[in-house]
Chains A and B, each alone.
Chain A
């Protein structure tokens, strides 16, 4: 009897055809990555659509500012349609790299200006070099060398740094006044203020490290008050030779741990989110908040400009001139797959460098990365204090780096888990520094 089912010969043939087809497709390796486009693409003046991804998903107060500035540019370029998508920084980090690699990314995106963030995308060929546009529009004349260096990798300029930032101390002025505490200008005064707040039953420093990155700012404040900026830059860069195991960094780590052990920070901080820590500060449950000036728009938005003041974190190593953790927060970059890079560059030029834009950004709490002067501008006192802190550090020892978040994702990953363990007392400063150095060594060796 002849079977109506396939014979073995037919099965084998069918399987073979499918096998070859599968093997071919698998081995063809259609995995990510698109060849970067070259040339200027659609010229300025032609009809085009600009798709933009902004990091302001975290910062609703800045979204209307960007819309307003972009609308001003669109008024002069009615032939261009601008679509802006807002993502949180976290969501952007998770989704943008793969969409850029698949060639479906936006024309312009706002991304962390660090070797371990934007630098990774740039070196992978996903970001369009901007030197030609910087020359054309004169951006290098408006940006300082230290700012340009933040987005320059392999001697190529890749993005326009969007906002200056520095870590300092936000403090609740009315609470300080009620407790008879002076704003701390020295490290000893800072410790005395923390003790006084603790005695008054108030959490001295609002700190939530569940999201892992806040430890970079708290511990980073101690490091930047102890270690010279040049040494920090050497540690926090792939090309550098510095390590976290140096005596001064270890001493700074111990200092930060001392704040925890003294009961200065929010209890159970590894279970408290950054948002909850911020809320505890603005609702008066904590007296100080050691964070970046980037929080200012949120503070003004939620509290006005009454109770909160911003001062530099006092230097622990008194031999050093004033310096601060920080750098730039975000940068405008053009994706290498953009079909309209010339139009994108013109949009960036207006949105970041025009007088109208600079004024609106500053009034909204975004500190300029250019030579834009705040003289004659009517800005909130808290904002002026932000400018002063950045200026004082720039004029002194300099603004360093985002601790653990600058050189490589490997170091950032080691920082995130290690800092939680270190501040919780599970590992000591030497072990923490060694784990960071292991990651740094791996990052440096894999970059060669």
Chain B
């Protein structure tokens, strides 16, 4: 095509000559867009849609994970799940964990408020130190804290004994009334730094003039925090609540490393129970049904959370 022809085309040639080439280009463009999406979609289908579909299908079967063919049982696994006390007990532990994570968020908020004050010296150092646990592998964290909680040789009991608090020493992971709190505390140790950084980011976006104006109006530190800081970081708080909720419901690694769900089933969470069903007692079909229910629960609660937040906004 010559330059003159191109120029004519751009200037506007006859419709009858231009229309077919436009249609052809559009159709070609459409298919091109499909092809461009295909690699990403293929990966998504292979690693997300396919396993999800397979899990849903397995949840309708009885299968030990070893035999050649699963047996179709329809909704039997879901009916059994409704009466499974252990499933609901483990779900209860998850919810306890969710509430425990709110403590970490509260601590993160407190630290963020303190470390956002301009008069604090070495703020960057403190922020970095507090954030370090976030960068650690949960498995490593679990192993280290397991040693710290050791009843006879652990650092926690040794420390308590050293300062004369012998009566408080105990088997932190050995007793059902302390094991769950000990595991949640470990999880929180890796989380409050993350909450602090997210909330700090939100605080830094708040207009300093608002604080100045409030001070001139006689608002104290608490009033400024309550009426300026907290409303200014609501989006970050919502984000943290959703993230912690999802992470907590699917949590597995700390329980696996530190307690195996014990003592008894005191620290068993749903993801660990699903693992035990599938790989310890070889009830893969039933485990799949529990996994599907857990996924649905996470989706529903996340959707409700986000919808409420949108309404508030």
Q: Give A residues with C-beta under 8 Å from B.
A: 2-6, 10, 14, 18, 22-23, 25-27, 29, 31-35, 94, 97-98, 100-101, 120-121, 124-126, 210-212, 266-272, 276, 280, 409-410, 412-413, 416-418, 420-421, 424, 426
Contacts and interface: CB of A to CB of B under 8 A. Distances in A.
Contact of A267 (B53, B171, B262): B171
Contacts of A32: 65-66, 68
Contacts of B264: 417-418, 420-421, 424, 426
A372 B208 CA distance: 86
Given A268-B151, A418-B264, A29 B68 contact: no
A276 B150 contact: yes
Contacts of B70: 29, 31
Query: Which of the listed residues A5, A25, A29, A271 has the most CB atoms from chain B within 10 Å of its own CB?
Result: A271
Contacts of A10: 30
Nearest to A5: B30
B113 interface: no
A421 B53 CA distance: 38
A241 B218 CA distance: 82
B229 interface: no
B149 interface: yes
A-B complex: 3 closest residue pairs judged by Cβ atoms: A268-B171, A271-B174, A268-B151
A210 B173 contact: yes
A14 B34 contact: yes
Contact of B68 (A18, A33, A272, A418): A33
A97 B173 contact: no
A268 B29 contact: no
A276 B172 CA distance: 16
A21 to B, nearest CB: 8
Interface string B32-72: 01100000010001000110011011100001111111100
A210 B53 contact: no
Interface in B8-33: 22-23, 26, 29-30, 33
A426 B66 contact: no
A417 B262 contact: yes
B172 A271 contact: yes
B23 to A, nearest CB: 7
A22 to B, nearest CB: 6
Contacts of A97: 65-66, 282
Given A120-B66, A271-B172, 19 more contacts: A3-B26, A14-B34, A18-B41, A23-B53, A25-B53, A27-B57, A33-B66, A33-B69, A124-B64, A125-B68, A210-B260, A266-B152, A270-B171, A271-B173, A271-B263, A272-B150, A272-B171, A272-B174, A424-B175
Interface stretch (B117-125, B134-142, B185-193, B273-281): B273-281
Nearest to B149: A271
B261 interface: yes
B50 A101 contact: no
Contacts of A272: 150-152, 171, 174
A4 B22 CA distance: 10
Given A22-B49, A426-B264, A268 B281 contact: no
Query: Which of the listed residues A4, A31, A121 has the most CB atoms from chain B within 10 Å of its own CB?
Result: A31
Given A121-B66, A212-B262, A417-B261, A22 B151 contact: no
Contacts of B172: 271
B170 A26 contact: no
B100 interface: no
Nearest to B45: A22
B29 A4 contact: yes
B265 interface: yes
A104 to B, nearest CB: 14
Nearest to A439: B281
B176 A426 contact: yes
A271 B151 contact: yes
Contacts of A416: 260, 262
A424 B54 contact: no
Nearest to B50: A25
Contacts of B280: 409, 412-413
Contacts of B150: 271-272, 276
Nearest to B259: A210
Nearest to A285: B152
12 contacts: A2-B22, A3-B26, A22-B49, A25-B50, A27-B57, A33-B69, A101-B65, A124-B66, A268-B174, A268-B175, A271-B151, A410-B281
A266 to B, nearest CB: 8
A26 B50 contact: yes
B281 A267 contact: no
A276 B152 CA distance: 10
B67 A4 contact: no
Given A31-B58, A271-B150, A424 B176 contact: yes
A436 to B, nearest CB: 14
Contacts of A269: 174
A5 B41 CA distance: 18
A115 B64 CA distance: 15
Nearest to A7: B30
